[in-house]
Chain A
Amino acid sequence: MMTMDQGAAPQTEGGEFVVSPHPYATQLRTERLAREAALGSRRETLLYLNGVNKTFDGFKAINNLSLVLERGEMRAIIGPNGAGKTTMMDIITGKTRPDAGEVYFRGEVDLTKHDEPAIASMGIGRKFQKPTVFESHTVEDNLALSLSGSRSVLTALLHKKSAADAGKIDEILATTRLTDKRKRLASGLSHGQKQWLEIGMLLAQDPELLLVDEPVAGMTDAETEETARLLRDIAQKHSVIVVEHDMHFVRELGVKVTCLHEGSVLSEGSIDHVSRDPRVIEVYLGR
């Protein structure tokens, strides 16, 4: 899965590291190297999932799932209903705790030890499968609440809108094509507009990693295309994981694809590679 950095490993002799004549020193060094090797394999990654398991009432929703996302990468995740895609996002964002396995962000932060706000503040943003925006706020206020910055209650109380904030909001409104809706209540938006507003809220957070769950569900073809373009734009500056059923959309993104099935990775590679994989065809068509 990951190629280990072999250069750092010392010479071996009969399978044993020889570091010093003292056996204990050798043992210590061996252990340290093993630790570093493990860290090394994830150090360069942005997101690192290894052997993750999650069981709901005896049902294995996530089964020994391993997945690695490089910095700056955009990844599409596909898989049949119930494959565990949303659950995987739940685990990454701290909504669900895995039963076993490692989940690391930037190679060093153990995400299983943090809760949702902490993880969000670290720079992981999430769009939900079902769009959720703050319905009784205007589009503009939705974005203002999502803007990165202090999350303390007292700062929020004394907060004054700065010019920089306003500029950022204008920019996001333009990106998500909501400029003329800025004073509208979010509850008055159409389904597609809500999806876009939610993506806009993600952008406002300025996260390092965006998790986007089914962004084009219920969109017209034209909207889908727009959304694909928007996501590709976003991927210029951010790392993104997109979950989607819509194969045209995934093809349009033109990125590496991971197919999940029954909670683990079934196939990984280019869209052509994955869609030709007989096992993928089996799970999509074989039932």
Chain B
Amino acid sequence: MRCMLKRLSLLWLLILAGLAAAPVWAAEGDAAAIVQSFGGKQGYDETETHIKEAAATGDPAVAPALRALRDGNLYWRKSDEAVFIATESGDTLKLADPMTGADAGTAPKDDFTKVRVKNSIRVAVTAALGSLTLRAENAVQRLRAADTLFSEADPEMIEPLDGAIAAETDATVKARMEEARAAAVLESDRPAEEKAAAAKVLEQRGDREALNKLATFASSTKDEAARGAAERAIAAIESNIAFWGQAQNVWYGLSLGSVLLLAAIGLAITFGVMGVINMAHGEMVMLGAYTTFVVQEQIRQSAPFLFEWSLAIAIPLAFLVSAAVGLVLERSLIRFLYGRPLETLLATFGVSLVLQQAVRSIFGPTNRQVGNPDWMSGAFDVGMMSVTWNRLWIIVFALLVFAALLLVLNKTPLGLQMRAVTQNRKMASAMGIRTPWIDAMTFALGSGIAGMAGVALSQIDNVSPNLGQGYIIDSFMVVVFGGVGNLWGTLVGAMTLGILNKLLEPFAGAVLGKIVVLVLIILFIQKRPRGLFAQKGRFVDA
């Protein structure tokens, strides 16, 4: 299902891109021919006709040639009347293809003739350039024209832009044109008020390019008033960019938080219900990741067409594998240590060593390659931040797992019994709840979730025997911080720690950020020794 969604949105993007590209390709042939028609001896009138023809194609590809013509950089070769854009350097010319701008080598100047220009030609070119692209039928094309003009910021283009803006009906395109005009105004010798207004427009645009334009202007202008306006605009844009920077950090934080949530949530329920810390929890995550690896290997060998579905297949399998290992662990070890949480911690640590070494012996000590299906790769932009698909899906996945677990705990008999055991084990067992069975199920469930977390982690991290180790301490911190009173504590804890880590990183660096977070947690538990959502009731032993 998620796959489908992704497909749909991809399709939609493709259609958009197609719309933008199609007319350009269609017109290319004529445009090139028309540009070539500037070659050969011709009168000014003839040249002007060709300019009009070029403009009539409505193809922005002719713009470089026209611009070269206006600036006196358009040449034709005496031997075959082929047209080039060229720049002089001494006795030679550096040649470029008039359509693509591709380098065409150098040649002696004598072999070429410059296309002649005079003022009326220049005016014609400017008008043509304007109408050429700014008045094109296709909105996408107009948009591109506006963007080109923005980056060129050519004062000559202010008037054509004015005309185009007046005629424009599409609001987006119009806004872009106004930005292009503003950029041009800053470069022109127009009065300060107009420049101030232009600075305002660029401030509205608010991205890095606008910032660059304003910065260049502010550093070069002599006009105090205009500089003031530009500097205000710069400040505004910078704070805007800073805002998006923070938004990006928050996003990274959410992403880290969702990973922590996946890793910690199983830990939290086993700790909540059984009061034991499973030090091998990280290895359950690792087993999930290796399950993904094995699934993908199998698919690669026997059913490559299923690759896109590999994660969907791996998730239930990883759950089962880790849950089975968890169940065996509980039945064969942990149940004998009930009521001795510290010993349980040590014994499960021993198990974690054994599991790590076992995986190392079977799969080797090096990283294993787990591929991202198409729908897990790539990125898109929101405002000024970039969002990668794999992180997005992991957040969605973590929230789904969380919601599912919430349902299990609140709406199923197993969940009811688990909550009963959490609150008062003795009473629950007196009421006929089979607490050993609940323990086993809880442990299997917690481990299974860790396995699913492993599938998610295989998409963003190296799959190695140490995979679990890297997350386990942070997961503990989530549990300590969030408390085990209810699942929301884990959610809030994971997201808070994730975001806090990422917000601190730019100031303190990753390592110091971690240390700061740790110190904050230690200070936090001064106030709330049992975490954000403490287990309540008189049977919580002090």
Physical contact A–B (CB less than 8 Å): yes
A282 within 8 A of B: no
B536 within 8 A of A: yes
Chain A residue nearest to B542 (CB atoms) is: A95
Chain A residue nearest to B536 (CB atoms) is: A57
Chain B residue nearest to A57 (CB atoms) is: B536
The minimal Cβ–Cβ distance linking A56 to chain B, given in whole angstroms, is: 8
- A56 to chain B: which residues have CB within 8 Å? 536, 538
- Between A and B, how many residue pairs show CB distances below 8 Å? 3
A56–B423 Cα distance when bound, in Å, is 14
A57–B538 Cα distance when bound, in Å, is 11
Chain B residue nearest to A61 (CB atoms) is: B538
A100-121, CB under 8 A of B: which get 1 and which 0? 0000000000000000000000
A56–B539 Cα distance when bound, in Å, is 13
A57–B536 Cα distance when bound, in Å, is 9
The minimal Cβ–Cβ distance linking A60 to chain B, given in whole angstroms, is: 15
- B538 to chain A: which residues have CB within 8 Å? 56
The minimal Cβ–Cβ distance linking A176 to chain B, given in whole angstroms, is: 27
- B536 to chain A: which residues have CB within 8 Å? 56-57
A112–B292 Cα distance when bound, in Å, is 58
B518-537, CB under 8 A of A: which get 1 and which 0? 00000000000000000010
The minimal Cβ–Cβ distance linking B221 to chain A, given in whole angstroms, is: 67
A57–B535 Cα distance when bound, in Å, is 12
A56–B540 Cα distance when bound, in Å, is 14
A56–B536 Cα distance when bound, in Å, is 9
- A57 to chain B: which residues have CB within 8 Å? 536
Chain B residue nearest to A90 (CB atoms) is: B538
Chain B residue nearest to A95 (CB atoms) is: B542
A-facing residues in B282-331 (Cβ within 8 Å)? none
A56–B538 Cα distance when bound, in Å, is 9
The minimal Cβ–Cβ distance linking B485 to chain A, given in whole angstroms, is: 11
B-facing residues in A45-80 (Cβ within 8 Å)? 56-57
Chain A residue nearest to B538 (CB atoms) is: A56
A57–B533 Cα distance when bound, in Å, is 13
Chain B residue nearest to A87 (CB atoms) is: B538
A57–B540 Cα distance when bound, in Å, is 15
A215–B155 Cα distance when bound, in Å, is 98
The minimal Cβ–Cβ distance linking A70 to chain B, given in whole angstroms, is: 31
The minimal Cβ–Cβ distance linking B348 to chain A, given in whole angstroms, is: 26
A-facing residues in B488-542 (Cβ within 8 Å)? 536, 538
A57–B423 Cα distance when bound, in Å, is 14
The minimal Cβ–Cβ distance linking B146 to chain A, given in whole angstroms, is: 63
The minimal Cβ–Cβ distance linking B332 to chain A, given in whole angstroms, is: 29
A-facing residues in B105-156 (Cβ within 8 Å)? none
The minimal Cβ–Cβ distance linking A83 to chain B, given in whole angstroms, is: 14
A-facing residues in B445-461 (Cβ within 8 Å)? none
A274–B538 Cα distance when bound, in Å, is 30
A238-276, CB under 8 A of B: which get 1 and which 0? 000000000000000000000000000000000000000
Residues of A within 8 A of B (CB): 56-57
Residues of B within 8 A of A (CB): 536, 538
Q: Give 3 nearest A-B pairs by CB, closest first.
A: A57-B536, A56-B536, A56-B538
3 contacts between A and B (CB under 8 A): A56-B536, A56-B538, A57-B536
